[in-house]
Amino acid sequence: MNKWVVGARVKTLPAAVAPVLVGTSFATEIDWINGGLALVVSLSLQIAVNFSNDYSDGIRGTDANRVGPTRLVASGLASAKAVRTAAFTSFATACIAGTLLSLNTTLWLILVGLISVLAAWGYTGGKKPYGYLGFGEFSVFIFFGLVATIGSYYVQTQQINWQIVLLSIPIGSLSCAILVINNLRDRPLDEKADKQTLAVKLGDQKTRYFYGFLLLVTQLTVLLAISIDSQIALVMICLPLVYKVLMQVLRGAKGEELIAVLGKTARVQLITAALIALALLI
């Protein structure tokens, strides 16, 4: 497989697709150009985060002996300079698409986009990356949950309401759950490298309980969202898969097993988003 596809970490991309899918589908009339631009922004930012993380962790040496997906810098598949260029190219793509989107809607989106880019880079980049301080999950919930979902709806309608805020919560919770599994997998090595992720701060067992809490929040908010459209009850189809992956985590899955769990969690998010979108569209 092409090394740049590997570096983009395709399994994490549902976290970028899901909020755009839900936010766009909630609009009464869909502007497909704005929807497409929103998707480009979201995907580009996710890929930029992945390359930035690869670059920043690689030059710090915290990716050595990593159990998870291949890291380009740490493995020597690509130079740190090349990976940084890939990250900046992805950021630039997001900025171009975001600027076009703001011209179609409101220039205030440029500010939102700038904050999003700074948050994406600051996760592991810079002198004091907040991902090393345990705030990564909070950031993911905000930017790949609330901001991305509400923003995707706003560029369609130029409105914000309580319904779209509610719909953004399960998407953000599942995005957060993906990162929790990633950090749970890496917790032993992160602890040795003094990378104080939330998983390191909480410890193994409490991190597993936190993952369960996020899945519970997802299901509860989906139940509340049935008040918006009764057909959102379709999402309950996911319950067997949610239960299965939760039990795998609570029973102590570790190392390479958690790579599969991460993929299953991303699948739950994408299916959840697709079913919500389907319910809103039919």
pLDDT tens readout for residues 241-261:
999 999 999 999 988 899 899
Total count of domains within the chain: 1
Among the residue ranges 146-155, 157-166, 254-263, the one predicted with the least confidence is 254-263
Nearest to 146 by CA among 118, 120, 119, 175: 175
Question: What domain range includes position 104?
Answer: 3-281
**Does an H or E element contain 99, and which?**
helix 80-104
Kindly report the CATH number assigned to the domain that includes residue 45: 1.10.600
Of the two residues 53 and 251, the one the predictor is more confident about is 251
Averaged pLDDT for residues 113-120? 92
Note the pLDDT of residue 200.
Answer: 93
The pTM of the full predicted model, rounded to 2 decimals, is 0.91
Task: Tell me how far apart the alpha carbons of residues 183 and 136 are, in angstroms, rounded to a whole number.
Answer: 10
Task: Mark residue 134 as left, alpha or beta (left: phi above 0; alpha: psi -120 to 50; beta: remaining).
Answer: left
> CA nearest 145: which of 69, 74, 42, 220?
42
Percent of the chain with pLDDT over 70: 96
